[in-house]
Amino acid sequence: MDAGYDAAFIYSQALDQDGQAIIKLNHRGHQKILQGFTDDGTPYCPAGHSMAYYGTDYKKLINKFRCPRKCGQDVTCQNECCCESSYGYIKRISIKDNPRLFCSPHRGSRTRNELYGKRSSIERLFSVLKGHLNMDRLTKRGIEKAFTDVTICLITFLAGTIIQIRKQKEQKAA
């Protein structure tokens, strides 16, 4: 969803239903981001660099972050995080603590960007349904009647698509 749906109750409801809301953050109207975290919820290491996202434990709903230097990022630090081990400093963040800010997949990760990018195709469909098939002007009250109107809009859209495909096939055959 776009940033207009960025509300804590939506994230909580998605978690309650064993899902995850993929919504762009809207910083207006929300309190300041927690201290020690970037705008997208990535924690800072003790040296002040944003840590590297390193996956999610879905059973415990915990995001894992590692020392950016040990993950191959070119950062300079004076060993402030005491990451003597080859694995480096690790920080685990519970998604349940703040489902709006801490989510899975983590904001900024490649997987999340791919999922969020898929919303553009459904947005185009909604644009056609609202702009050309009057789905934005439902005149009947009640969920059943609204469902009927939306179903009619979708049937009309699919019928138009089938006609376009048939015309294209006829033109190629000719």
Check if the beta carbon of residue 102 is closer than 8 Å to that of residue 40. Answer: no
Within 8 A by CB and 6+ apart from 52, the residues are 65, 66, 67, 68, 71, 73
Q: Is 99 exposed, middle or buried (0-12, 13-18, 19+ CB in 10 A)?
A: buried
- Is 143 a domain residue? yes
What pLDDT is stored for residue 139 in this prediction? 80
What pLDDT is stored for residue 76 in this prediction? 72
The parts of the chain modelled with pLDDT lower than 70 are 2, 29-33, 70, 72, 78-85
DSSP letters along 140-169, please?
S-SHHHHHHHHHHHHHHHHHHHHHHHHHHH
Q: How many domains does the chain have?
A: 1
- Is 151 a domain residue? yes
- Is 164 a domain residue? yes
pLDDT tens column, 85-128: 677 778 888 888 887 788 878 887 888 888 888 877 778 888 88
What pLDDT is stored for residue 162 in this prediction? 95
What pLDDT is stored for residue 158 in this prediction? 93
- Is 41 a domain residue? no
| Structure-derived torsion over alpha carbons of residues 22, 28, 34, 39, reported in degrees to the nearest 10 | 60
What pLDDT is stored for residue 31 in this prediction? 61
- Is 60 a domain residue? no
Structural domain boundaries enclosing 147: 119-173
What pLDDT is stored for residue 81 in this prediction? 66
- Is 144 a domain residue? yes
- Is 103 a domain residue? no
- Is 160 a domain residue? yes
What pLDDT is stored for residue 33 in this prediction? 63
